C-alpha cells in the first residue's frame, strides 16, 4: 500500500518528464531542445525541492498536557517553523486527536524562510479521562503541483478531561475552633477575632471585661468575638462496580465521579485542606487511589486529575480498610464525605461505628431513579444526602 501511494505521488512528475526527455533527445531544432532542457531542469529541481522540503518543517506542541472540564472547549496549540532559507508554499498540518471531538483539526499554512507560526484548535471530551494526541501529519505539493509530499511527525501530547463540576452548598456545624469559617455556635468563639463591646451582664467571664473602656465610662463592658471554625476534609469515593445497581450502572459511576470531584473544588474555595481515598484504580497501578490531606488549589487540581484517570473495579467496597488501612491519616475534627451508592448492612455498620467514635461523616448517596433502595436500616444513624440526579441546580446538604 505504501509503495503504491509513493508511485502515484510521482506519476504526474514522470508524465511531465517523458515528453521533455523525448524533445531534448530527438528534436533537431536547437531552440526546442534548449526549451525542453530548461523545463527538464525545472522539473528535476521541483522533484529535489519536494524531497527536501518536508524535513525543513519543524512542528512542536506549545503544551505537552492540556486540561479542561468535560464538554467544555480545550485549546490545543502547535508551533510550526521553517528552518530553511527557502520559502514553503501552502501546505496542510493535521493533528490526530483520538476520541476527542473537534470542529477542525487541520490548517493551511505557508511559511517564509525561518518563519514560525502558531496554530490552534479546540477539542471537547465527551467523557472524563486522559486522551492521547498525535501524530501530526504535514503534506502538500511542490511547484507547479507536479510532486506531492507527506510527512508524519511523532508528536505525543495528552488532554486530561476533568469530570463536570457542580455547585455545592453544604452546612458545617462542627470542627476545630479558630479557623476561617464563620459560625453562630459560641463554642467556636475565636479570641483573636474581636467583634464588638457590650455592657456587662451578670455571669460574664471576668477575663472578657475591657477595663480601659470600663474606666472611661464608669460602666463595665464585655468584649465579644467572632465564632469561627476550620476542619480538614476527606473524600471517600466508592468506585466498586458491584455496589452500583445493574441498570444505569455506568452513568451512576460517572455521577459519583462528578460529585467526588465537586467536593474538593467547593472546600478549596473555603480554604480548607482536602484529602482523597477511592477504591478505584489508576491505569498501571494497584491498591487504593489516594491523596493526602493538604491545602491549596494545586493539590485540589491534583485530586481532580486523579479522579479523571480513575477506573472502576469489581467487587464491593471495604470502608473499614479505606478509613483505617489506606495510609491516609484522618486528623481530629476532619469531615469525612462518603460518595457511594446504597450501602449493604455490613458497610453501614462500619460507617455507623465510625460515627459513634466521633468521626464527622456526611454521606452523599448516589441513587438510581429506576432501582431505588430504602435504607431504613441506618435511617437517622448517618447524615445522608440522596443524589437522584445532577443537573444545573445547586446541591444542598
| pLDDT given for residue 379 in this prediction | 63
Of 226, 259, 220, 234, nearest in space to 354 by CA = 234
Phi, psi of 120 (to 5 degrees): -145, 160
Which residues have CB under 8 Å from 92's CB, separation 6+?
106, 107, 108, 109, 138, 139, 140
Q: Look up residue 68 and give its three cell numbers.
A: 479542561
Q: List the beta strands (DSSP E) in 211-351.
A: 221-230, 233-237, 274-278, 289-294, 335-340
| pLDDT given for residue 243 in this prediction | 94
Please give the Cα distance from 332 to 383 (Å, whole number): 19
| Of the options 2.60.40.10, 3.30.70.270, 1.10.3720.10, 2.40.50.140, the CATH number for the domain spanning 55-162 | 2.60.40.10
| Single pTM value for the model | 0.76
| pLDDT given for residue 18 in this prediction | 67
| pLDDT given for residue 1 in this prediction | 45
Of 193, 196, 194, 189, nearest in space to 227 by CA = 189
DSSP 369: S
Q: List the beta strands (DSSP E) in 13-70.
A: 57-61, 65-69
Within the chain, what is the greatest distance between any pair of CA atoms?
129
Please give the Cα distance from 36 to 264 (Å, whole number): 74
| Locus of grid cell 464491593 | 316
> Do residues 337 and 364 make contact, with C-beta atoms less than 8 angstroms apart?
yes
Phi, psi of 96 (to 5 degrees): -75, 135
Indicate the SS3 state at residue 274.
Answer: strand
Cα 251-252-255 angle, rounded to 5 deg: 90
Please give the Cα distance from 140 to 145 (Å, whole number): 9
| pLDDT given for residue 123 in this prediction | 95
Task: Give, for 248, the enclosing helix (H) or strand (E).
Answer: none
- Domain borders along the chain are 2-53, 55-162, 176-230, 231-396
Q: Let me know if the fold of 55-162 is the same as that of 231-396.
A: no
| pLDDT given for residue 2 in this prediction | 47
- Topology of domain 231-396, CATH: Rossmann fold (3.40.50)
pLDDT by residue, tens only, the chain of 397 residues:
444 555 555 555 566 666 766 665 667 767 767 777 777 777 778 778 888 888 899 999 999 999 999 989 999 999 999 999 988 888 999 999 999 999 887 889 999 999 999 999 999 999 999 999 999 999 988 777 777 888 999 999 999 999 998 888 887 777 666 566 565 555 545 545 556 567 778 777 777 677 677 777 878 877 666 556 677 999 999 999 999 988 889 999 999 999 999 999 889 988 889 999 999 999 888 889 999 999 999 999 999 999 999 999 999 999 999 999 988 888 888 899 999 998 888 999 999 999 888 889 999 999 876 555 555 556 677 888 888 777 666 776 6
- Whole-angstrom CA distances from 351 to 185, 329, 356 are 26, 17, 9
Please give the Cα distance from 96 to 156 (Å, whole number): 10
Amino acid at each position: 500500500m505504501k509503495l503504491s501511494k509513493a508511485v502515484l505521488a510521482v506519476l504526474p512528475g514522470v508524465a511531465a518528464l517523458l515528453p521533455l526527455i523525448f524533445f531534448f533527445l530527438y528534436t533537431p531544432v536547437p531552440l526546442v531542445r534548449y526549451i525542453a532542457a530548461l523545463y527538464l531542469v525545472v522539473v528535476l529541481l521541483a522533484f529535489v525541492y519536494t524531497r527536501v522540503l518536508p524535513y525543513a518543517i519543524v512542528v512542536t506542541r506549545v503544551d505537552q498536557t492540556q486540561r479542561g472540564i468535560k464538554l467544555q472547549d480545550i485549546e490545543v496549540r502547535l508551533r510550526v517553523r521553517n528552518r530553511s532559507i527557502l520559502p514553503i508554499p501552502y501546505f496542510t498540518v493535521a493533528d490526530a486527536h483520538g476520541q476527542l471531538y473537534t470542529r477542525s483539526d487541520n490548517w493551511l499554512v505557508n511559511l517564509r524562510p525561518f518563519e514560525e507560526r502558531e496554530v490552534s484548535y479546540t477539542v471537547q471530551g465527551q467523557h472524563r479521562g486522559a486522551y492521547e494526541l498525535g501524530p501530526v501529519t504535514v503534506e502538500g505539493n511542490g511547484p507547479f503541483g507536479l510532486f506531492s509530499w507527506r510527512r508524519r511527525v511523532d508528536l505525543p501530547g495528552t488532554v486530561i478531561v476533568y469530570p463536570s463540576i457542580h455547585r455545592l452548598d453544604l452546612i458545617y456545624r462542627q470542627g476545630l475552633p479558630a479557623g476561617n469559617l464563620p459560625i453562630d455556635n459560641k463554642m467556636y468563639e475565636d479570641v483573636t477575632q474581636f467583634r464588638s463591646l457590650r455592657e456587662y451582664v451578670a455571669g460574664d467571664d471576668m477575663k472578657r471585661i475591657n477595663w480601659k473602656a470600663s474606666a472611661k465610662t464608669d460602666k463595665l463592658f464585655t468584649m465579644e468575638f467572632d465564632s469561627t471554625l476550620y476542619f480538614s476534609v476527606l473524600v471517600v469515593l466508592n468506585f466498586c462496580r458491584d455496589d452500583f445497581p445493574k441498570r444505569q450502572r455506568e452513568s451512576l459511576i460517572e455521577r459519583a465521579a462528578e460529585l467526588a470531584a465537586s467536593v474538593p473544588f467547593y472546600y478549596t474555595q473555603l480554604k480548607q485542606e482536602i484529602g482523597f481515598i477511592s477504591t478505584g484504580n489508576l491505569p498501571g497501578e494497584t491498591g487504593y487511589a489516594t491523596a493526602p490531606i493538604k491545602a491549596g488549589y494545586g493539590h485540589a487540581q491534583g485530586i481532580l486529575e486523579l479522579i479523571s484517570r480513575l477506573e472502576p473495579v469489581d467487587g464491593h467496597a471495604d470502608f473499614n480498610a479505606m478509613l483505617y488501612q489506606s495510609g491516609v491519616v484522618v486528623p481530629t475534627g476532619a469531615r469525612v464525605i462518603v460518595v457511594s451508592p446504597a450501602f449493604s448492612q455490613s458497610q453501614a455498620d462500619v460507617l455507623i461505628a465510625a460515627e459513634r467514635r466521633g468521626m464527622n461523616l456526611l454521606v452523599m448517596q448516589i441513587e438510581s431513579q429506576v432501582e431505588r433502595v430504602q435504607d431504613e436500616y441506618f435511617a437517622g444513624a448517618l447524615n445522608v444526602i440522596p443524589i437522584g440526579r445532577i443537573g444545573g441546580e445547586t446541591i444542598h446538604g
